[in-house]
Amino acid sequence: MTKKKIVFLSVSVALLLSLLGGALFGQATQKNNVYRYLSIFTEVFDLVRNNYVEQVPADQLMDGAFSGVTDAIDEFSYYVPPAQMAAYKSFSDVEDNGVGLIVTKRFGYAYVIASVPGSPAAKSGIERGDFIEKIDGQPTQKMAVWQVRNLLRGAKPVHLQVLRGGQTKRDEFTLQQAAFHPLPITTEQYGGVSYVKIPYFEKGTAAQLATTLETIRKAGSRKLIIDLRGNAGGDVEEAITSADELLTSGLITSLAGRNIDPKKWQADRNTAYDGDLEVLTDGSTASGAEIFAAAIHGNQRGKVVGVTTYGKSIVQRFVTLPSGGGVYMTVAHYTTPDMKAIKAGGIRPDVIVDLTALALRDESSTPATKGAVAKPKDDLILQKALQLFTEPAAAKKAA
Protein backbone atom coordinates (compact mmCIF):
# COMPACT_ATOMS: atom_id res chain seq x y z
CA MET A 1 0.00 0.00 0.00
CA THR A 2 1.40 3.45 -0.92
CA LYS A 3 1.97 6.19 1.64
CA LYS A 4 -0.78 8.37 0.23
CA LYS A 5 -3.30 5.54 0.45
CA ILE A 6 -2.32 4.88 4.07
CA VAL A 7 -2.81 8.57 4.85
CA PHE A 8 -6.21 8.70 3.26
CA LEU A 9 -7.24 5.36 4.71
CA SER A 10 -6.43 6.69 8.17
CA VAL A 11 -8.43 9.85 7.55
CA SER A 12 -11.29 7.83 6.10
CA VAL A 13 -11.36 5.57 9.15
CA ALA A 14 -11.40 8.60 11.41
CA LEU A 15 -14.27 10.10 9.44
CA LEU A 16 -16.18 6.82 9.62
CA LEU A 17 -15.63 6.60 13.38
CA SER A 18 -16.89 10.14 13.79
CA LEU A 19 -20.09 9.23 12.01
CA LEU A 20 -20.54 6.17 14.21
CA GLY A 21 -19.75 8.22 17.30
CA GLY A 22 -22.46 10.68 16.37
CA ALA A 23 -25.04 7.93 16.62
CA LEU A 24 -23.97 7.36 20.22
CA PHE A 25 -23.46 10.89 21.48
CA GLY A 26 -26.13 12.85 19.67
CA GLN A 27 -26.61 14.87 16.53
CA ALA A 28 -24.69 17.92 17.80
CA THR A 29 -21.59 15.87 18.58
CA GLN A 30 -21.88 14.10 15.24
CA LYS A 31 -22.05 17.35 13.32
CA ASN A 32 -19.06 18.83 15.18
CA ASN A 33 -16.97 15.69 14.61
CA VAL A 34 -17.84 15.58 10.92
CA TYR A 35 -16.79 19.19 10.43
CA ARG A 36 -13.62 18.56 12.44
CA TYR A 37 -12.55 15.56 10.37
CA LEU A 38 -13.54 17.19 7.11
CA SER A 39 -11.24 20.03 8.10
CA ILE A 40 -8.42 17.57 8.81
CA PHE A 41 -9.14 15.80 5.52
CA THR A 42 -8.85 19.09 3.63
CA GLU A 43 -5.53 19.88 5.34
CA VAL A 44 -4.05 16.49 4.49
CA PHE A 45 -5.41 16.65 0.95
CA ASP A 46 -3.76 20.03 0.35
CA LEU A 47 -0.54 18.90 2.04
CA VAL A 48 -0.18 15.85 -0.21
CA ARG A 49 -1.25 17.66 -3.36
CA ASN A 50 1.23 20.51 -2.83
CA ASN A 51 4.19 18.72 -1.22
CA TYR A 52 4.26 15.08 -2.34
CA VAL A 53 7.42 14.23 -4.32
CA GLU A 54 5.36 13.82 -7.51
CA GLN A 55 2.24 15.62 -8.64
CA VAL A 56 -0.82 13.49 -7.98
CA PRO A 57 -4.15 14.22 -9.76
CA ALA A 58 -6.87 15.36 -7.39
CA ASP A 59 -9.25 12.69 -8.74
CA GLN A 60 -6.75 9.97 -7.86
CA LEU A 61 -6.45 11.27 -4.30
CA MET A 62 -10.21 11.45 -3.85
CA ASP A 63 -10.72 7.95 -5.27
CA GLY A 64 -8.11 6.67 -2.82
CA ALA A 65 -9.89 8.35 0.07
CA PHE A 66 -13.29 6.94 -0.88
CA SER A 67 -11.82 3.48 -1.36
CA GLY A 68 -10.31 3.81 2.11
CA VAL A 69 -13.78 4.29 3.59
CA THR A 70 -15.10 1.04 2.11
CA ASP A 71 -11.88 -0.77 3.04
CA ALA A 72 -12.50 0.27 6.63
CA ILE A 73 -16.04 -1.19 6.61
CA ASP A 74 -15.42 -4.80 5.55
CA GLU A 75 -13.61 -6.80 2.88
CA PHE A 76 -16.79 -7.29 0.82
CA SER A 77 -17.63 -3.60 0.28
CA TYR A 78 -15.97 -1.43 -2.37
CA TYR A 79 -16.04 1.92 -4.11
CA VAL A 80 -16.32 2.32 -7.90
CA PRO A 81 -14.86 5.61 -9.23
CA PRO A 82 -16.83 7.50 -11.92
CA ALA A 83 -14.18 6.63 -14.54
CA GLN A 84 -14.85 2.89 -13.98
CA MET A 85 -18.65 2.99 -13.90
CA ALA A 86 -19.06 2.14 -17.58
CA ALA A 87 -17.01 -1.03 -17.12
CA TYR A 88 -18.84 -1.82 -13.87
CA LYS A 89 -22.25 -1.61 -15.54
CA SER A 90 -21.20 -4.39 -17.91
CA PHE A 91 -19.97 -6.52 -15.01
CA SER A 92 -22.18 -9.50 -14.21
CA ASP A 93 -21.48 -10.57 -10.61
CA VAL A 94 -21.83 -14.34 -10.72
CA GLU A 95 -20.65 -15.53 -7.32
CA ASP A 96 -18.44 -18.41 -8.48
CA ASN A 97 -17.25 -16.59 -11.64
CA GLY A 98 -17.98 -19.48 -13.97
CA VAL A 99 -14.74 -21.23 -12.97
CA GLY A 100 -15.77 -22.04 -9.40
CA LEU A 101 -13.71 -19.50 -7.45
CA ILE A 102 -15.37 -17.54 -4.66
CA VAL A 103 -12.93 -14.70 -3.97
CA THR A 104 -12.43 -11.56 -1.92
CA LYS A 105 -9.46 -9.24 -1.28
CA ARG A 106 -7.05 -9.75 1.63
CA PHE A 107 -3.74 -8.02 2.28
CA GLY A 108 -4.13 -6.34 -1.09
CA TYR A 109 -4.35 -9.55 -3.13
CA ALA A 110 -7.23 -11.64 -4.45
CA TYR A 111 -7.95 -14.30 -1.85
CA VAL A 112 -9.72 -17.62 -2.41
CA ILE A 113 -12.56 -18.19 0.08
CA ALA A 114 -13.44 -21.48 -1.62
CA SER A 115 -13.14 -23.51 -4.79
CA VAL A 116 -16.63 -24.81 -5.47
CA PRO A 117 -16.58 -28.63 -5.44
CA GLY A 118 -16.78 -30.06 -8.94
CA SER A 119 -15.73 -26.81 -10.61
CA PRO A 120 -12.75 -26.23 -12.93
CA ALA A 121 -10.97 -24.43 -10.05
CA ALA A 122 -11.44 -27.34 -7.65
CA LYS A 123 -10.37 -29.88 -10.25
CA SER A 124 -7.21 -27.89 -11.00
CA GLY A 125 -6.18 -27.96 -7.33
CA ILE A 126 -6.76 -24.33 -6.30
CA GLU A 127 -7.66 -24.30 -2.61
CA ARG A 128 -9.15 -22.18 0.11
CA GLY A 129 -6.56 -19.75 1.43
CA ASP A 130 -4.65 -19.41 -1.84
CA PHE A 131 -3.67 -15.88 -2.90
CA ILE A 132 -4.04 -15.01 -6.58
CA GLU A 133 -1.17 -12.65 -7.38
CA LYS A 134 -1.81 -12.27 -11.09
CA ILE A 135 -4.61 -12.93 -13.57
CA ASP A 136 -3.42 -13.11 -17.18
CA GLY A 137 -0.28 -11.28 -16.07
CA GLN A 138 -2.14 -8.43 -14.34
CA PRO A 139 -1.36 -7.93 -10.62
CA THR A 140 -4.47 -8.24 -8.47
CA GLN A 141 -3.05 -5.69 -6.01
CA LYS A 142 -4.22 -2.94 -8.33
CA MET A 143 -7.74 -4.36 -8.72
CA ALA A 144 -10.96 -3.99 -6.80
CA VAL A 145 -12.65 -7.29 -5.99
CA TRP A 146 -15.26 -6.77 -8.73
CA GLN A 147 -12.45 -6.41 -11.29
CA VAL A 148 -10.92 -9.66 -10.08
CA ARG A 149 -14.24 -11.46 -10.48
CA ASN A 150 -14.80 -9.89 -13.87
CA LEU A 151 -11.45 -11.14 -15.19
CA LEU A 152 -12.14 -14.63 -13.89
CA ARG A 153 -15.33 -14.70 -15.97
CA GLY A 154 -13.49 -14.33 -19.27
CA ALA A 155 -14.72 -16.48 -22.15
CA LYS A 156 -11.15 -17.48 -22.91
CA PRO A 157 -8.97 -19.55 -20.56
CA VAL A 158 -7.56 -17.45 -17.71
CA HIS A 159 -4.03 -17.92 -16.46
CA LEU A 160 -3.46 -17.51 -12.71
CA GLN A 161 -0.32 -17.10 -10.67
CA VAL A 162 -1.04 -18.36 -7.16
CA LEU A 163 0.87 -18.12 -3.88
CA ARG A 164 0.09 -20.85 -1.37
CA GLY A 165 0.62 -21.00 2.37
CA GLY A 166 3.96 -22.50 3.40
CA GLN A 167 5.46 -22.11 -0.08
CA THR A 168 7.66 -19.45 -1.63
CA LYS A 169 7.33 -20.42 -5.28
CA ARG A 170 4.30 -19.41 -7.33
CA ASP A 171 2.06 -22.07 -8.83
CA GLU A 172 0.57 -21.58 -12.29
CA PHE A 173 -3.01 -22.54 -13.20
CA THR A 174 -5.08 -22.16 -16.34
CA LEU A 175 -8.87 -22.26 -15.96
CA GLN A 176 -11.61 -22.44 -18.56
CA GLN A 177 -15.22 -21.61 -17.87
CA ALA A 178 -17.47 -24.66 -17.75
CA ALA A 179 -21.04 -25.56 -16.88
CA PHE A 180 -20.90 -27.45 -13.57
CA HIS A 181 -24.22 -26.46 -11.99
CA PRO A 182 -26.44 -27.83 -10.57
CA LEU A 183 -24.22 -29.54 -8.03
CA PRO A 184 -25.80 -32.73 -6.68
CA ILE A 185 -25.85 -33.78 -3.05
CA THR A 186 -23.73 -36.92 -2.59
CA THR A 187 -24.05 -39.65 0.01
CA GLU A 188 -21.82 -42.34 1.51
CA GLN A 189 -22.09 -44.88 4.29
CA TYR A 190 -19.42 -45.36 6.96
CA GLY A 191 -20.59 -48.42 8.86
CA GLY A 192 -23.69 -47.27 10.74
CA VAL A 193 -23.10 -43.59 9.97
CA SER A 194 -24.69 -41.93 6.95
CA TYR A 195 -22.74 -39.13 5.28
CA VAL A 196 -24.26 -36.34 3.15
CA LYS A 197 -22.19 -33.75 1.28
CA ILE A 198 -23.93 -30.47 0.32
CA PRO A 199 -21.46 -28.69 -2.00
CA TYR A 200 -23.55 -25.58 -2.75
CA PHE A 201 -27.00 -24.19 -1.97
CA GLU A 202 -28.95 -23.52 -5.16
CA LYS A 203 -32.48 -23.91 -6.44
CA GLY A 204 -33.62 -27.43 -5.69
CA THR A 205 -31.03 -28.20 -3.00
CA ALA A 206 -33.56 -28.21 -0.14
CA ALA A 207 -35.91 -30.56 -2.01
CA GLN A 208 -33.02 -32.85 -2.88
CA LEU A 209 -31.91 -32.88 0.76
CA ALA A 210 -35.43 -33.72 1.95
CA THR A 211 -35.53 -36.71 -0.41
CA THR A 212 -32.06 -37.83 0.71
CA LEU A 213 -33.00 -37.57 4.39
CA GLU A 214 -36.20 -39.55 3.82
CA THR A 215 -34.18 -42.33 2.18
CA ILE A 216 -31.73 -42.38 5.10
CA ARG A 217 -34.56 -42.43 7.63
CA LYS A 218 -36.32 -45.33 5.88
CA ALA A 219 -33.03 -47.26 5.85
CA GLY A 220 -33.03 -47.06 9.64
CA SER A 221 -29.86 -44.98 9.99
CA ARG A 222 -29.80 -43.03 13.27
CA LYS A 223 -26.44 -41.32 12.84
CA LEU A 224 -25.92 -38.64 10.22
CA ILE A 225 -23.05 -36.37 9.15
CA ILE A 226 -23.77 -33.38 6.91
CA ASP A 227 -20.64 -31.93 5.32
CA LEU A 228 -20.71 -28.18 4.55
CA ARG A 229 -16.98 -27.74 3.99
CA GLY A 230 -16.25 -25.74 0.85
CA ASN A 231 -19.89 -24.60 0.67
CA ALA A 232 -19.36 -20.85 0.44
CA GLY A 233 -22.18 -19.38 -1.62
CA GLY A 234 -25.47 -19.81 -3.37
CA ASP A 235 -29.10 -19.29 -2.38
CA VAL A 236 -29.64 -18.34 1.26
CA GLU A 237 -33.34 -19.25 1.17
CA GLU A 238 -32.40 -22.79 0.11
CA ALA A 239 -30.02 -23.02 3.07
CA ILE A 240 -32.75 -21.86 5.47
CA THR A 241 -35.27 -24.34 4.08
CA SER A 242 -32.67 -27.10 4.26
CA ALA A 243 -31.97 -26.38 7.94
CA ASP A 244 -35.71 -26.48 8.60
CA GLU A 245 -35.78 -30.09 7.34
CA LEU A 246 -33.82 -31.03 10.47
CA LEU A 247 -35.58 -28.83 13.04
CA THR A 248 -38.99 -29.01 14.71
CA SER A 249 -38.86 -25.66 16.54
CA GLY A 250 -36.74 -22.62 17.22
CA LEU A 251 -35.37 -19.64 15.32
CA ILE A 252 -33.36 -20.57 12.23
CA THR A 253 -31.98 -17.08 11.54
CA SER A 254 -32.94 -13.43 11.36
CA LEU A 255 -31.99 -10.54 9.10
CA ALA A 256 -30.92 -7.27 10.74
CA GLY A 257 -29.69 -3.89 9.55
CA ARG A 258 -30.16 -0.21 10.31
CA ASN A 259 -32.19 0.61 7.20
CA ILE A 260 -33.88 -2.64 6.24
CA ASP A 261 -37.04 -4.35 7.41
CA PRO A 262 -36.05 -6.97 10.01
CA LYS A 263 -37.09 -10.53 9.28
CA LYS A 264 -37.10 -13.83 11.17
CA TRP A 265 -37.36 -17.44 10.01
CA GLN A 266 -38.88 -19.93 12.47
CA ALA A 267 -38.65 -23.71 12.10
CA ASP A 268 -41.90 -25.58 11.56
CA ARG A 269 -42.86 -28.81 13.36
CA ASN A 270 -42.17 -31.11 10.41
CA THR A 271 -38.79 -32.79 10.05
CA ALA A 272 -37.34 -35.15 7.46
CA TYR A 273 -34.89 -36.76 9.90
CA ASP A 274 -34.78 -36.92 13.70
CA GLY A 275 -31.67 -39.03 14.35
CA ASP A 276 -28.33 -37.92 15.80
CA LEU A 277 -26.61 -35.25 13.74
CA GLU A 278 -23.16 -33.74 13.19
CA VAL A 279 -22.32 -30.88 10.79
CA LEU A 280 -18.82 -30.46 9.36
CA THR A 281 -17.42 -26.96 8.74
CA ASP A 282 -14.14 -25.33 7.82
CA GLY A 283 -12.79 -21.92 6.91
CA SER A 284 -14.43 -22.11 3.48
CA THR A 285 -17.91 -22.65 4.92
CA ALA A 286 -19.63 -19.32 4.28
CA SER A 287 -22.89 -17.53 3.54
CA GLY A 288 -25.95 -19.83 3.55
CA ALA A 289 -23.94 -22.77 4.84
CA GLU A 290 -23.08 -20.73 7.94
CA ILE A 291 -26.77 -20.05 8.52
CA PHE A 292 -27.43 -23.80 8.30
CA ALA A 293 -24.62 -24.63 10.76
CA ALA A 294 -25.69 -21.84 13.13
CA ALA A 295 -29.28 -23.10 13.16
CA ILE A 296 -28.22 -26.64 14.07
CA HIS A 297 -25.75 -25.42 16.70
CA GLY A 298 -27.97 -22.71 18.18
CA ASN A 299 -30.99 -24.99 18.57
CA GLN A 300 -28.92 -27.81 20.11
CA ARG A 301 -30.02 -30.08 17.27
CA GLY A 302 -26.56 -31.55 16.74
CA LYS A 303 -22.85 -30.90 17.02
CA VAL A 304 -20.79 -28.76 14.67
CA VAL A 305 -17.36 -30.33 14.10
CA GLY A 306 -14.32 -28.84 12.38
CA VAL A 307 -13.04 -25.27 12.03
CA THR A 308 -14.66 -21.87 12.59
CA THR A 309 -16.52 -20.72 9.49
CA TYR A 310 -15.59 -17.72 7.35
CA GLY A 311 -18.13 -15.12 8.53
CA LYS A 312 -19.93 -13.95 5.38
CA SER A 313 -23.70 -14.15 5.87
CA ILE A 314 -24.58 -10.70 4.60
CA VAL A 315 -26.82 -8.72 2.25
CA GLN A 316 -25.24 -6.11 0.00
CA ARG A 317 -26.54 -3.30 -2.18
CA PHE A 318 -25.05 -1.00 -4.83
CA VAL A 319 -25.69 2.72 -4.34
CA THR A 320 -25.05 5.12 -7.21
CA LEU A 321 -23.53 8.44 -6.12
CA PRO A 322 -24.26 11.91 -7.57
CA SER A 323 -20.58 12.10 -8.56
CA GLY A 324 -21.16 9.32 -11.08
CA GLY A 325 -19.39 6.66 -9.04
CA GLY A 326 -20.94 4.18 -6.65
CA VAL A 327 -20.54 2.14 -3.50
CA TYR A 328 -21.29 -1.56 -3.09
CA MET A 329 -21.80 -2.04 0.62
CA THR A 330 -23.12 -4.38 3.27
CA VAL A 331 -26.57 -3.21 4.42
CA ALA A 332 -27.71 -6.17 6.51
CA HIS A 333 -26.48 -9.38 8.14
CA TYR A 334 -27.93 -12.74 9.08
CA THR A 335 -27.80 -13.85 12.70
CA THR A 336 -27.46 -16.98 14.79
CA PRO A 337 -30.54 -18.17 16.73
CA ASP A 338 -29.34 -16.08 19.70
CA MET A 339 -29.37 -12.98 17.46
CA LYS A 340 -25.60 -12.55 17.06
CA ALA A 341 -24.24 -11.44 13.69
CA ILE A 342 -22.65 -14.39 11.87
CA LYS A 343 -20.22 -12.03 10.11
CA ALA A 344 -18.81 -10.99 13.49
CA GLY A 345 -16.61 -14.07 13.69
CA GLY A 346 -18.25 -16.98 11.91
CA ILE A 347 -19.64 -20.08 13.63
CA ARG A 348 -17.34 -21.67 16.19
CA PRO A 349 -17.75 -25.48 16.22
CA ASP A 350 -18.73 -27.47 19.30
CA VAL A 351 -15.73 -29.68 18.58
CA ILE A 352 -12.72 -27.90 17.08
CA VAL A 353 -10.32 -30.01 15.03
CA ASP A 354 -6.66 -28.95 14.99
CA LEU A 355 -5.45 -28.89 11.38
CA THR A 356 -1.95 -27.65 12.14
CA ALA A 357 -0.45 -30.89 10.88
CA LEU A 358 -1.98 -30.25 7.46
CA ALA A 359 -1.16 -26.54 7.28
CA LEU A 360 2.52 -27.12 6.54
CA ARG A 361 2.81 -28.73 3.15
CA ASP A 362 5.71 -31.11 2.64
CA GLU A 363 7.22 -31.74 -0.74
CA SER A 364 5.68 -35.18 -0.96
CA SER A 365 2.18 -33.66 -1.03
CA THR A 366 2.94 -31.44 -4.03
CA PRO A 367 3.31 -32.98 -7.52
CA ALA A 368 6.94 -32.70 -8.62
CA THR A 369 6.08 -32.83 -12.30
CA LYS A 370 3.19 -31.71 -14.42
CA GLY A 371 0.47 -34.32 -14.47
CA ALA A 372 1.63 -36.00 -11.26
CA VAL A 373 -0.98 -36.82 -8.64
CA ALA A 374 -0.63 -35.28 -5.18
CA LYS A 375 -0.72 -37.55 -2.17
CA PRO A 376 -4.19 -37.27 -0.59
CA LYS A 377 -4.35 -35.66 2.83
CA ASP A 378 -5.88 -37.26 5.87
CA ASP A 379 -9.42 -35.98 6.45
CA LEU A 380 -9.00 -35.13 10.11
CA ILE A 381 -12.39 -33.43 10.44
CA LEU A 382 -14.33 -36.40 9.06
CA GLN A 383 -12.22 -38.78 11.14
CA LYS A 384 -13.09 -36.81 14.27
CA ALA A 385 -16.79 -36.77 13.44
CA LEU A 386 -16.84 -40.54 12.92
CA GLN A 387 -14.92 -41.00 16.16
CA LEU A 388 -17.54 -38.99 18.05
CA PHE A 389 -20.24 -41.32 16.74
CA THR A 390 -18.35 -44.57 17.24
CA GLU A 391 -17.09 -43.66 20.71
CA PRO A 392 -20.13 -42.05 22.36
CA ALA A 393 -18.87 -42.55 25.91
CA ALA A 394 -15.59 -40.76 25.21
CA ALA A 395 -17.42 -37.99 23.34
CA LYS A 396 -19.80 -37.35 26.23
CA LYS A 397 -16.93 -37.26 28.71
CA ALA A 398 -15.03 -34.75 26.55
CA ALA A 399 -18.13 -32.57 26.21
Please answer whether residues 292 and 239 qualify as being in contact, where contact means their C-beta atoms are separated by less than 8 angstroms. yes
Question: What are the φ and ψ backbone dihedral angles of 32, each rounded to 5 degrees?
Answer: -60, -45
pLDDT in the model for residue 6: 47
Distance CA(103)–CA(80), nearest Å, equals 18
Q: What is the 3-state secondary structure (H, E, C) of 162-177?
A: EECCCCCCEEEEEECC
pLDDT in the model for residue 300: 97
Give the CA distances from residue 201 to residues 7, 102, 182, 388, in Å, rounded to whole numbers and listed in that order.
Answer: 41, 14, 9, 27
pLDDT in the model for residue 16: 45
Return per-residue pLDDT of the chain as tens, 399 residues.
454 444 444 444 444 444 444 444 444 455 567 778 778 778 877 888 888 888 878 888 877 777 888 888 899 999 999 999 999 998 887 788 889 999 999 988 999 999 999 999 999 999 999 999 999 999 999 899 999 999 998 789 999 999 987 677 899 999 999 999 999 999 999 999 999 999 999 999 999 999 999 999 999 999 999 999 999 999 999 999 999 999 999 999 999 999 999 999 999 999 999 999 999 999 999 999 999 999 999 999 999 999 999 999 999 999 999 989 999 999 999 999 999 999 999 999 999 999 887 665 444 444 444 444 455 678 999 999 999 998 754 444 444
Distance CA(264)–CA(343), nearest Å, equals 17
Helix (H) or strand (E) holding 65: helix 58-73
Distance CA(23)–CA(14), nearest Å, equals 15
3-state secondary structure of 103: strand
Q: Count CB-CB contacts under 10 A for residue 375.
A: 10
Crossing angle for the helix pair 205-218 and 236-244, to the nearest 10 degrees: 20
pLDDT in the model for residue 263: 97
Angle (CA) 90 95 97, round 5°: 70
Amino acid residing at 346: G
Distance CA(324)–CA(366), nearest Å, equals 48
Q: For the domain bounded by 186-314+330-398, which CATH number is listed?
A: 3.90.226.10
3-state secondary structure of 154: coil
Residues contacting residue 190 through CB under 8 Å, at least 6 positions apart: 225, 386
pLDDT in the model for residue 312: 94
pLDDT in the model for residue 374: 54
3-state secondary structure of 391: coil
Distance CA(133)–CA(120), nearest Å, equals 19
Please answer whether residues 281 and 307 qualify as being in contact, where contact means their C-beta atoms are separated by less than 8 angstroms. yes
Amino acid residing at 185: I
Distance CA(113)–CA(105), nearest Å, equals 10
Distance CA(123)–CA(101), nearest Å, equals 11
Please answer whether residues 232 and 285 qualify as being in contact, where contact means their C-beta atoms are separated by less than 8 angstroms. yes
pLDDT in the model for residue 166: 67
Class of domain 89-175: mainly beta
**Given this chain, do its domains 89-175 and 186-314+330-398 carry the same CATH topology?**
no
3-state secondary structure of 218: helix
pLDDT in the model for residue 368: 44
Helix (H) or strand (E) holding 196: strand 193-197
For the chain, which residues make up each domain, given as ranges?
3-73, 89-175, 186-314+330-398
pLDDT in the model for residue 26: 44
Peptide bond into 182 cis (omega under 30): yes
In this structure, are strands 314-320 and 101-106 parallel, antiparallel, or unpaired?
Answer: unpaired
